[in-house]
Amino acid sequence: MDINRETKELALSDSLLQWGQWQLLDSIIPTGGFAHSIGLEAAIQAQMVLGPEDLQSFVIHLLENTASLLLPFCVFYNNIT
């Protein structure tokens, strides 16, 4: 019985449970008609995306924001496995 491995498995299990709870409690969780547009439809309606250059900028900012949010969790998971 490897206590260190069991401790890591418990920590991972607790982390995943807590992550799921934060997702459910997040006030910006997408719901309704805009659930899968990642804000693009709203940006178009607000005239923030008017052409190809605006779309490119929107996608770049979306990827940067998503990476900055998720990358720490990916690094953490990689370090505990």
Q: Where are the domains of the chain?
A: 3-28+38-80
Q: How confident is the model at residue 51 (pLDDT cuts 50, 70, 90)?
A: very high
Question: Encoding tokens for residue 78?
Answer: 């990689």
pLDDT exceeds cutoff 60 at 76: yes
Q: What angle do CA 21, 25, 29 make, to 5 degrees?
A: 110
In this prediction, residues 1-10 reach a mean pLDDT of 68
Residue reference for tokens 């309704």: 32
